Structure 1
Amino acid sequence: MVESRVIFITGAGSGIGFDTACRFIKTGATVIACDRDVLGLQKLEQFSQREGKIVEILPLDLLDVPSFNLAEDAVRKYGHLDVLVNCAGICSGTPLDQITIEEWDRTYAVNVKGPFFLTIRLLPFLKAGNQPTIINISSMAGFTGGIKSNPAYSSSKAALTCMTKNLAKFCAPFGIRVNEVSPGTARTAMVENWLDENEIQKFILQIPMGRLAEADDISRVIVFLASKDAGFITGQTIHVNGGMYIP
């Protein structure tokens, strides 16, 4: 059960992060939802109102590390943090030989540096949490190189996987579990921005289970990892890709 726990989610304005926030809200958890997409956060707030629940929305850009003070302030009022979900991420789909230094740095800033330093800032609150856990959202691309061979995205997700293992070892003595969920290609706005429908249908032919992942497929696993049922799982990657990648 996750009710009455304090949950902090980045990337909560759309896609997997949005669905995860909705699922936690339904359980009765206190959710602090972060994203740079203010309209997405407003939709999440409307969902919580329909559910008769309260969500705290926090406009936050992972490119702006100094603004992480706002994240600390949001959590401080509760005195502890039980679950941190690092879900925010970006991918442009730019061809390998056209990637700029600026795009590379921006991808790493959002996908690796941001999650790491946000985690460090919130670590004192996690140490005070109830069965605290950190859940990072990586990608199958970090294990396979990705669909369109965008090394900025795929290598940043591989770095996130290593970071998850590092954090798991460091945090275990404090009773904090750290895991990651590695989705295959999911039908989200980010994917639809860099794959047209024809490409998506060709891609589906490579998936043994015959479809793309849905946000719901991933959010269920995230909620499981946050639960007591996952109490002895740490340092692990849970792959959710319909059998396309089997380690």
Structure 2
Amino acid sequence: MSLDGKVAIVTGAAGGIGLAIARRYARDGARVVMTDLQAERGEQEALAIRTAGGWARFMACDTADEATVETLVETVETEVGPIDLAVCSAGISKGGQPFYDTTLEDFTKVLSVNLVGPFIVGKAVARRMIASGVKGAIIHISSVGAVLGVETSPAYCTSKGGLSMLTKVMALAMARHGVRVNAIGPGPTWSPMTEAALDQPAIDMMLSRTPLGRFAEADEVAGVAAFLASEDSSYITGQTLYADGGRLALNYVVSKPA
């Protein structure tokens, strides 16, 4: 799918799903501005994209800080061009405890990155799209955790549930301006965050609820992001597309082979 000439901002782009999306957009012809708090790695990954023939620039940014985001977006518009695409992929997880043992600090930290951040980025980008008449797309990275609760991930699941509704209300507000807003809800996906958090029993448990019997690769999620950024999805807005290996379709657990 061609994104020739499009200007894209991808948050959380120093690794995982965000990086895979940045690489895919660059390969499809977009000029990609990558943001993350991991500045050194982000610079290295942007250089790797350029070395491979794509257009990429890294700019460090805390997406939960409104002033920083406004500066980022203004710089992109001034130095790169009007923003056509924004992908909010920055996210964190602080699981491991039920809600009654979760500190307010941890709870609010996850919401600030996973929910407030997309609100701030979406708001900054949307206002400029309206002003410039760009009929672009905003894409959030949600999760099956938006609809499937996990006892020990109260903040993460709450943030993703809120993100699904934020996607809808943003889509309704931007429809009259020709801007589409959607989300992707990955199921189990290999990324630095999941690899650091999961041991083998946890992996086995998740696969018992995944009909395709494997974790997704980040590139597979990037393919969905490419679709939502392209004209092939021109009549889709306000939706969360679940790339979940069949997880949400399954009532019980995957049958074991005889």
TM-score by length of 2: 0.90
Q: Assess if the C-alpha contact under 8 Å between 1:168 and 1:177 holds in 2.
A: yes
Match of 1:214 among 198, 213, 217: 217
From the superposition, tell whether residues 4 and 129 of structure 1 become closer, same or farther in structure 2 (CA, over 3 Å).
Answer: farther
Task: Tell me by how many angstroms 1:130 deviates.
Answer: 4.6
SS at match of 2:214: coil
Q: Between Structure 1 and Structure 2, how many residues are aligned? A: 246
Task: Tell me by how many angstroms 1:163 deviates.
Answer: 0.3
Task: Tell me by how many angstroms 1:39 deviates.
Answer: 2.8
Q: Assess if the C-alpha contact under 8 Å between 1:5 and 1:130 holds in 2.
A: no
Gaps of 5+ in 1: none
Q: Report whether the alignment pairs 1:228 with 2:231.
A: yes
How far does the alpha carbon of each residue in 1:207-235 deviate from its partner, in whole angstroms, 9 at most, with x for none? 11000111011100000000010001111
1:137 is matched with 141
1:166 is matched with 169
**Aligned pairs (5 A) from 1:1-247:** 1-77=2-78, 78-96=80-98, 97-127=100-130, 128=132, 130-146=134-150, 148-246=151-249
How far does the alpha carbon of each residue in 1:79-133 deviate from its partner, in whole angstroms, 9 at most, with x for none? 4111110111110223114311001111110011111012111213323365301
Q: Assess if the C-alpha contact under 8 Å between 2:11 and 2:87 holds in 1.
A: yes
CA distance in 2, matches of 1:36, 1:112: 17
CA distance in 2, matches of 1:130, 1:121: 14
CA distance in 1, matches of 2:205, 2:156: 21
From the superposition, tell whether residues 129 and 18 of structure 1 become closer, same or farther in structure 2 (CA, over 3 Å).
Answer: farther
CA distance in 1, matches of 2:56, 2:209: 39
From the superposition, tell whether residues 33 and 129 of structure 1 become closer, same or farther in structure 2 (CA, over 3 Å).
Answer: farther
SS at match of 2:3: coil
CA distance in 1, matches of 2:226, 2:49: 17
**More displaced stretch, 158-167 vs 44-53:** 44-53
CA distance in 1, matches of 2:230, 2:176: 19
**More displaced stretch, 14-23 vs 237-246:** 237-246
Q: Assess if the C-alpha contact under 8 Å between 1:16 and 1:218 holds in 2.
A: yes
CA distance in 2, matches of 1:8, 1:133: 11
Counterpart residue type for residue 232 of structure 2: D
SS at match of 1:9: strand
Gaps of 5+ in 2: 251-258
2:254 is matched with none
CA distance in 1, matches of 2:44, 2:248: 33
Q: Assess if the C-alpha contact under 8 Å between 1:92 and 1:194 holds in 2.
A: no
From the superposition, tell whether residues 129 and 48 of structure 1 become closer, same or farther in structure 2 (CA, over 3 Å).
Answer: farther
Q: Assess if the C-alpha contact under 8 Å between 1:133 and 1:226 holds in 2.
A: yes
SS at match of 1:170: helix
Q: Assess if the C-alpha contact under 8 Å between 1:32 and 1:55 holds in 2.
A: yes
Over the matched positions of the two proteins, sequence identity in percent amounts to 32
Task: Tell me by how many angstroms 1:40 deviates.
Answer: 2.6
CA distance in 2, matches of 1:167, 1:246: 27
SS at match of 1:245: helix
Q: Assess if the C-alpha contact under 8 Å between 1:10 and 1:33 holds in 2.
A: yes
CA distance in 1, matches of 2:190, 2:28: 24
